[in-house]
Structures are given as structure tokens and as C-alpha cells.
Amino acid sequence: MPALQLLNDLKTMTQQHLQYAEHLMQQSEAKLNSRVSEDSWSVLECLEHLNRYGNFYIPEINRRITSSKTSSATDFKPGILGNYFAESMLPKEKLNAMKTFKSMNPINSQLDKNVVQEFIRQQKEWVELLEKAKNVNLNKIKTNISISKLIKLKLGDTFRFVIYHNTRHISQAKKIIAL
């Protein structure tokens, strides 16, 4: 896949996430905190979950891009593990439930619209990082992942994983609000 096309596609997705979050600012906190069931997440919990991942990945990716000596590659070839992680994040017709790590689970947190504002701020940072990534090699730069110091993914796969993960939970949030 052409690297530039991947980055542009991910940037488009991120801009859609940003627009959706800006729309959420018009909703009441009560609506954003409501849940479908006792053990499901509210819209704010979905976004808080994503913010927690952003808190790890944004500095990690920024550090890797900034310290990189590579020049951009024309094509991006997903790694086996990175592709598996990224593809598993894409929302399916019926969203398959996944376990999350305790540190990333925001259930029963006291949340307000600051969560949405932080998510908006992070989406703007993602757009900037995707722009910066146009000047580096998405295949050669490796990033740590949040669940293990032993596994590193190609930068292109890390972007795909995080942004697909955002898409997954934005999709979940849309279903919660629609109910």
C-alpha cells in the first residue's frame, strides 16, 4: 500500500473522529454519562478509554518520529503481528466485546466534558503526527506498545492500530447516543 495513501486515509478517519467529538460537546453531560446497562460504558467512558491510550501512544510516536534518521518510504507493508492487532480493532457488524486492561478501563469514573475536550486535543495531535510521518519510513521506525515492552510494531501498524481502535470506540459511542 502506498505510505502516503495510508497516512491520508488515517488522517481522514481522525478528522471524522474530531468532528464527531466536537458534535458531542453540544450534548448534555447526563446524556454523555448514560449507559445502556450496568456493565457497559458511557460515551464519556469510551472517550476516556481512548484518551488513556493516546496518553501512551502520542508521546511514544512523537519521540520515535523526532529521533528518526530515516527518509520516507513510498510503500508500507504491514507486519504480521501489527496487521493482526490493527485488523482486530476494526469495528465489525456486531461489535465483538474485548477485555481491556484494568488501567485502561474507565468504568465508574467520575467524568465530565473535559474528557471530550481532551479527546479533541488528542485528535488534533494525531493529525499533526500523521503529517510529520510523511517524512519518515513507516516500515523502519518501530514503536513500543502499551501492553508489553517486549513487542515493537512498525510505525505504520501502530498508527493503524490506534486509529482503528479510536474508530471502534467512536462506533460504540454512536450506538450509545442513538439508543
User: Angle at CA 145, nearest 5°, toward 100 and 119?
Assistant: 65
Confidence tier at 95 by pLDDT (50, 70, 90): low
User: 109-118 pLDDT, tens per residue?
Assistant: 789 999 999 9
pTM value? 0.92
Distance CA 61, CA 126 (A): 10
User: Angle at CA 165, nearest 5°, toward 159 and 170?
Assistant: 125
User: 7-28 pLDDT, tens per residue?
Assistant: 999 999 999 999 999 999 999 9
What's the mean per-residue pLDDT of the chain? 91
Confidence tier at 61 by pLDDT (50, 70, 90): very high
